[in-house]
Amino acid sequence: MKNVYSNIYSFNKKTLKKSVNSLKLGNIVSLPTETVYGLGGNAYSKTAIKKIYKIKKRPKSNPLIIHYYSFKEASNDVLLNKNFFKLYKKFCPGPITFILKKKKSSKIVSSASATLNTIAIRFPKHRVVRTILKSLNFPIAMPSANLSSGLSPVNPLDVYDEFKKKVKIIIDGGQSKIGIESTVVDLSGKPKILRPGIISPNQINKTVKIILPKRNLKIKSPGMLKRHYSPGLPVVLNQKPSNDKHAYIIFGKISDNRVNYFNLSKNADLKEAAANLYKVMRKIKKKGYKKIFVSRIPNIGPGIAINDRLRRASK
């Protein structure tokens, strides 16, 4: 992308080197992943971790996900178990994060995991971040590249919107294909899901038995705020479209189509709807609407993750 945003770079040999050098110096870089864009820093560097919390205005109690190229590098920092290997084989690299016990010898900066004795690890699939991880001899701590409690960015311009020039390097890896954050599975004890994602509880349960939540997922992740994934406007759930003043997020075929209707997926495809969720919410905000109404989204498969994010956005 050749553009007016002097801190957004397309990915090539030169910008690979630039990103790697910047990370080695303890600076932070915004990188694309298949889920959402992240704000990455050296997970073994105190200064890098400090910078991440500061720029995101993130509460110190909310730990970060550590990104690795493969399980081999991760084995330096966490205790890998049987359940981990089953899920790793099936879903990695990909949109899933594992909570595992931290090794005593781990070099992860303790503030990155909010001084817990567990660490969240992930193996992202996106070509850009994988190439960068392969070139480093340390893992990348990387939260979503947004101000704390806001919407995760799904393209480089969203990251720019959040931080302007405060982030010196934003690598353009196109639109994030999945569009919502990874599924978080706690494997440090009895397996359970802490954050639903595109890989659904049922899919995971086929490989590793998990405690399946009967209804809505309760907040379990440390430091996770009740209000999260917020577009900065009131969000009202389970509404039928009626008046013209507010924005309506709808799903599936609908006979009349108005300018204030924003369809997540005309084909009623929940995967497509997840990929469009943050994009649509940012668009609505930019258009100046003051309130968002959302119609009912089926609570199955990726719909579970969509409803989780919408519920938190509406708090």
Strands 292-294 and 247-250: parallel
Whole-angstrom distance, CA of residue 186 vs CA of residue 126: 23
Please tell me whether residue 64 binds ligand TXA under the rule CB under 6 A: yes
Report the residue number, 179 or 303, with the smaller CB distance to ligand TXA. 179
Judged by CB under 6 A, which stretch of 44-52, 131-139, 222-230, 262-270 contacts ligand TXA? 222-230
Mask: binding to ligand TXA, 66-85, rule CB under 6 A, as x and -? Answer: --------------------
> Is 119 within 8 Å of 89 (Cβ atoms)?
no
Please tell me whether residue 184 binds ligand TXA under the rule CB under 6 A: yes
Nearest Cα to Cα of residue 306 among 121, 180, 124: 180
Please tell me whether residue 97 binds ligand TXA under the rule CB under 6 A: yes
CB of 182 to ligand TXA, least distance (A): 3
Is the four-CA dihedral 76, 137, 156, 27 of positive or negative sign?
A: positive
- Among ligand TXA, Mg ion, none, the one that 42 touches (CB under a kind-dependent 5 to 8 A) is none
- CA distances in angstroms from 58 to 79, 150, 228, 273, listed in the order given: 27, 11, 12, 28
- Among Mg ion, ligand TXA, none, the one that 306 touches (CB under a kind-dependent 5 to 8 A) is none
Chain contacts with Mg ion (rule: CB under 5 A): 144
Chosen residue from 51, 195, 246, 309 binding ligand TXA by CB under 6 A: 195
Please tell me whether residue 181 binds ligand TXA under the rule CB under 6 A: yes
- Among Mg ion, ligand TXA, none, the one that 116 touches (CB under a kind-dependent 5 to 8 A) is ligand TXA
* Residues making contact with ligand TXA (CB under 6 A): 33, 35-36, 38, 62-65, 97, 99, 113, 116, 118-120, 122, 124, 142-144, 181-182, 184, 194-195, 221-224
